Amino acid sequence: MRIGIEIKAFKNNVTGVSRYLREILDVLQKIDSTNDYFLFECHCSDYPVINSHWKTVTTSWKLPGVLYQQLYLPFLLKKFDIDLLWSPEQICPIFYLRKIKVILTIHDLVPFHFHQTSRWSVTLIHKLFGLASIKAAAVLITVSDFIRVDFLSVYGAIFPAKRIVAISNGKPGWLLPSDYSPEKRRSFLFFAGNSEPRKNLISLVQGLEILFDKGIIVPLHIAGPGGWKNREFIHYCQKSRVRNHIHHIGYCYDDMLIEQYLSCKAFIYPSLYEGFGLPVLEALCCDCLVLTSSGTVMQEIAGNCALYFDPHDPKDIARIIESIFSEKFDRKKYLKNKNSVLQKYSWGKSAEGLLNVFENC
């Protein structure tokens, strides 16, 4: 079988989708030496190909990603006689596919539920090509059961449930250092992610203000790129009475991330909506207590290894934060089952599930 994979996500190499794609491709190269793979990219990514059955196809035309995907990629699919195409970014070519079967990954339904928080270009692309991409797909892959259920609630009338497969993301391969001790943890909270409105950071700061007014000072470290439509959050932080206790540490590579997870009091993730919530697994890999939003995918991922709050209620966020500073708080209660949670998620399982979908198609 000749399998094509869109890898234009590598153009923005710090996104969650690019990480997802890289992790799965790395495993696929190791486990499949039967099928022939063609990696189609609109800009040179230097992704390393080590399998002799794999080939990277790069165009010299400097086209924007969506124009390359919709206008030029179909020509390449025909030229290289592709049987099956995997599009991992929720949008696929919708013209001239003919007999090519398309596997489409759905990471979330942010453009449907929270379009006002997305970049205008993302919203426009999904308006133009989102529904048509769904209709063009032979099989949809969702990255969690939560998103599968969410997708069916929105698009169940036009896409059958039997053609949707939930394949979870994996966890990082991080191990605790030999000298790790929970007693070395400090009193700050840690957040990792961008600061777009959906991450709900204003509610978190409001929760910290409630504690501040009670005489409880809780520092917050925020790691990640700036995000989009974050002016309101930046302005709020500048005016907040806890502004001196909020530390923006910028984008962090893995070693810096691990250091924060290992040294914080707890990881806090107040997001209103996620497709998977990888930072929750990152925290658990580092024996880090997790505080996160109820009614979201994080409950599927973390199970009983997290404390949950109403993300819409700063008072409830403050209540949960205050509880972990109590002398009676039992940290071990929430982390004793973390290994059983972590064992469910691996990029090896993700890649094997994807390969199974390819072969069944």
Q: Which residues contact 158 (CB under 8 A, 6 or more apart)?
A: 131, 134, 135
Mean pLDDT to the nearest integer, 93-119: 88
pLDDT of res. 121: 80
Tokens standing for residue 127: 């308006």
3-state SS, residue 104: strand
Maximum Cα–Cα distance across the chain: 68
pLDDT of res. 13: 65
Tokens standing for residue 324: 């972990």
- Pairing, β 36-41 against β 2-6: parallel
pLDDT of res. 98: 79
Classify burial at 158, counting beta carbons within 10 Å of its beta carbon; exposed 0-12, middle 13-18, buried 19 or more. exposed
Classify burial at 175, counting beta carbons within 10 Å of its beta carbon; exposed 0-12, middle 13-18, buried 19 or more. exposed
Mean pLDDT to the nearest integer, 66-85: 94
Mean pLDDT to the nearest integer, 178-185: 94
CA 319, chain centre distance (Å):
27
Q: Is the pLDDT of residue 222 over 70?
A: yes
- pTM > 0.85: yes or no: yes
Q: Is the pLDDT of residue 14 over 70?
A: no
Q: Is the pLDDT of residue 26 over 90?
A: yes
Domains and CATH numbers, the chain: 2-170+346-360 (3.40.50.2000), 182-342 (3.40.50.2000)
Cα–Cα nearest to 204, from 325, 315, 307, 282: 315
Convert the pLDDT of each residue in 259-309 to its tens digit. 999 999 999 999 999 999 999 999 999 999 999 999 999 999 999 999 999
Convert the pLDDT of each residue in 116-156 to its tens digit. 777 778 888 889 999 999 999 999 999 999 999 999 999 99
